[in-house]
Chains A and B, each alone.
Chain A
């Protein structure tokens, strides 16, 4: 036994030595990331595909826990020990790194023209001129529904607000199922899966979102006010006691088949597949309105990857980044992580049919993302994103009228944000 162990140990040492001898002419890249959940996917699927194509580059995926990532990365960057490739959080966190000269500009990277301006916005300077991370994936908002319940009640998938409300009414009349499964206790669902889900169609997507940043549009006017009004119409269809239902409660209700429609983010697909594999899941996109018939989806940028300015292997790192912008990467990533959609305008197919449905909306609709994420939430108090959570939850709780909610959010934004001052 002992002998065998010694032999095993020696052979490992020998293999290690020859391995590192072979690696002498190999360039080694390290990726910093907070996605420790995805370690296996990177090690077994994504990186082998890259290294097969570029045998002289070795890539190591070195994740930290999500809650510690920002602090650990900051420390490593300051000490000069951070990896060559940095996974980028969206918006201000990465902009901070670029401004501190920790990230290189990637404007001239081959493949960057595969991304639209909306896709790049989360990792670009405020003027949109410089992009410093290659967008990897976004999450898309929409509605999930229980196909078995729709079949049983003989319902059609709604595409307009009128149809949507009619379907909800029909489900309510039968009294067997909760028509619309969402709670307001955690507040963020009301804003993220409610207001920011159906809203972009009403405020004409990017036109509205950029109008807010420029100060030409207001939360208490036009599409932004209409979105609060549209949200208020959900109120009678929420489950009993929704004011005290948290996010996991709503997920459980829907997974158990006790509710028909679930306002969702695409990451929920994987959750429901796991919670109840027999649930007959379907999806439909945010409905349109009589006054706003062009659909706009909330295609929210979530994850990207950039180049450490202090890297010693920039050439190899840029090769990897250019590969991230290709269709091959998109294909691998989308199927390994259903619900996270690569942002590149390249052809890729996903095998999960519901994820496929979400993805197909990109072709039919325009895209925008959550209004408070770029620039508008830089202030600590009042904070635009927190205000939207509170206002949206209160509209659904019936303690704010849509107009009150819109005025509340607008006046607090105008209290500190220059372009909105006095509006």
Chain B
């Protein structure tokens, strides 16, 4: 029997992707991790310090307090997306999948904010909520709730919820589309059979649709998690790098930005910045691993 020749074509086809991915993703990642293990000695020379930067980040009050503040804010930011964006996205998808009249129009309108630039979204919402001439005052006045209006983006207990909801508003199209794609793939026979058996729409959703789109639910959850813990742009565009008031809207992305690049008179610190980035990588990695092992493995057998 003749030995199979080495499959060179596989190497050739893989090479461009591997090369580009290594050069632009793997190499910077490793380089950033190495940077987080270095610092400057008093003479200004770069030295290897092991895990000392990580120790500083968690033990020195000047570092740990803003870090944990950003971390818990980030959890809150994530929970708003998990508890509002994804369930509402699912609801919209189920409604659209039921072939309501004008579904394509709703689908387009709901998806539109997703394709807008974050800078535009931040700017528009800042105008809407502006206490001096924003339309939020007029809208609330019209329904007699004018005195409920608040400087939403300027108060410590409303800034982060407001920003989270803006982000939900912008991104809700993504889970909606993913859920919709999964729902459409469910064979009509299954739904028809259920209806013939007398199942209500409610039962159809819980007993047939939801179990069959569970893999998508998992993917949406993990995408939300990764997206939220990498988030930066909306907060930066709306609140600036100081993520005010009093860092009430500071999340890991803005904390990293200030640390690495500096701000106004604050000099940038690439070593501590890389350390923050390292911890962010660890958090995201943990989340993704939990998904892979606890969720995706159990789903492998569900098929139709």
Residues of A within 8 A of B (CB): 183-188, 239-246, 249, 252-253, 258, 372-373, 377-378, 380-386, 389-390, 393-394, 397, 399, 412, 415
- Which of B126, B156, B266, B269 is the one whose CB lies under 8 Å from A386? B266
Residue in A244, A385, A399 whose CB lies within 8 Å of B153: A244
**Chain B min CB distance to A116 (Å):** 23
User: A380 and B259 in contact (CB under 8 A), knowing A241-B131, A244-B153?
Assistant: yes
Q: How many chain B residues have a CB neighbour from A under 8 Å? A: 33
B266 near A385 with CB under 8 A, answer: yes
Q: Considering the complex, give the chain B residue whose CB is closest to the CB of A181.
A: B132
Q: Is the Cβ of B265 less than 8 Å from the Cβ of A377?
A: yes
Mostly, the B contact residues are: loop
Least distance between B150 CB and chain A CB atoms (Å): 8
B200 within 8 A of A: no
Is the beta-carbon distance between A244 and B151 smaller than 8 angstroms? yes
Q: In the complex, what distance in Å separates the CA atom of A149 from the CA atom of B268?
A: 45
Q: When chains A and B are docked, how far (Å) is the Cα of A270 from the Cα of B149?
A: 34
Is B218 among interface residues, defined by CB-CB distance under 8 A? no
Is A380 within 8 A of B153, CB to CB?
no
With A and B bound together, what is the CA distance between A384 and B263 in angstroms?
A: 12
Contact yes or no, A252 B242, CB < 8 A: no
* A interface majority secondary structure: loop
Are A381 and B244 in contact, with the CB atoms below 8 A? no
> Does B268 lie within 8 Å of A380, measured CB to CB?
yes
* Most chain B beta-carbon contacts within 10 A, residue among A241, A252, A373, A415: A241
Known: A239-B132, A244-B129, A380-B267. 10 other contacts (CB 8 A): A240-B132, A242-B154, A243-B245, A244-B152, A252-B132, A377-B266, A380-B259, A385-B266, A390-B246, A397-B245
* 6 A-B pairs whose Cβ atoms sit less than 8 Å apart in the complex: A239-B131, A244-B129, A244-B153, A372-B265, A386-B264, A389-B264
A389-B242 contact, Cβ under 8 Å, with A241-B132, A245-B151: yes
Complex alpha-carbon distance, A26 and B150, angstroms = 65
Given contacts A244-B130, A249-B132, A380-B266, contact A399 B259 (CB under 8 A): no
Contact of B110 with A by CB under 8 A? no
Does B155 interact with chain A (Cβ within 8 Å)? yes
| Cα separation A242 to B62 with both chains bound (whole Å) | 29
- Docked complex Cα distance between A252 and B131 (Å): 13
A206 CB to nearest B CB, Å: 20
A381 with B154: CB separation less than 8 A: no
CA distance A372 to B149 in the complex (A): 36
Q: Given A243-B151, A390-B244, are A383 and B265 also a contact pair (CB < 8 Å)?
A: yes
Cβ of B240 within 8 Å of any chain A Cβ, yes or no, is yes
Instruction: Scan residues 38-62 of chain B and give those whose CB is less than 8 A from a CB of chain A.
Output: 62
**Which residue of B has the minimal Cβ distance to A397?**
B245
A7: min CB distance to chain B, Å: 50
